[in-house]
Amino acid sequence: MTIVEEEGPYKMVGGIKFGILSPNEIRALSIAEVSMADTYDEDGMPITSGLMDGRFGTLEPRQRCRTCGNTASRCPGHFGHIELALPVIHPGFAKLIHKLLNSVCRTCGKILISEEEVTKFRQRINTINRSFWKLGTSGKCYRTYIRSKYNRAS
């Protein structure tokens, strides 16, 4: 164990972004795979590849993290991943996934909406397209994208 004196703040947060990572992105960012359900061995030390693996960060005030080398106050913590035998649906997205699956034809994959709703959505796209004409050059790329999608859908 290395004893280190603490200094001022390490970094200032400039912003936070929330999103969803793919399984491959999670594996790439993960420090280690958690393959054991145990946390500590008989001596009270964290088990490697366990839930309290030392590579995930340290809880001891003057101990250094095995991944970044910082002490507990400076180490942001690191995450691992667990390989599951089958895919699991996140409970927070279950209702949304159910709605999406019910809105698409199981045979051909087309969206199940009436012609009236299609017309309404096309009008909304045209309104958005007209508003971007007013933006000048900053809206050109988006205008081209909307136009290409609209023409393919016709």
Domain-ending residue, one of 86, 114, 130: 86
Question: Tens digit of pLDDT for each residue in 18-41?
Answer: 888 888 999 999 999 999 888 888
- One domain for residues 40 and 24: yes
Q: How many helices (H) and strands (E) does the chain have?
A: 4, 0
Residue pair 122/114 in contact (Cβ under 8 Å)? The answer is no
Q: Which of 128, 40, 27, 120 is nearest to 82 (CA)?
A: 27
CATH of the domain at 7: 4.10.860.120
- One domain for residues 2 and 60: yes
- One domain for residues 5 and 65: yes
Angle at 8 between CA 5 and CA 62, to 5 degrees: 30
Question: Tens digit of pLDDT for each residue in 132-144?
Answer: 666 554 555 555 6
Residue with tokens 């809105």: 103
- One domain for residues 81 and 17: yes
- Residue 129 CA to chain centroid, in angstroms? 30
- Residue 130 CA to chain centroid, in angstroms? 33
Domain-ending residue, one of 35, 60, 86: 86
- One domain for residues 98 and 141: yes
Could you tell me the residue range of the domain that residue 144 belongs to?
91-153
Residue with tokens 């136009």: 147
Domain count along the chain: 2
- One domain for residues 111 and 79: no
pLDDT of residue 21: 86
Domain-ending residue, one of 34, 64, 86: 86
Least confident of 44-53, 65-74, 110-119, 129-138: 129-138
- One domain for residues 103 and 149: yes
Question: Tens digit of pLDDT for each residue in 62-97?
Answer: 888 889 999 888 888 999 999 999 988 888 889 988
pLDDT of residue 33: 92
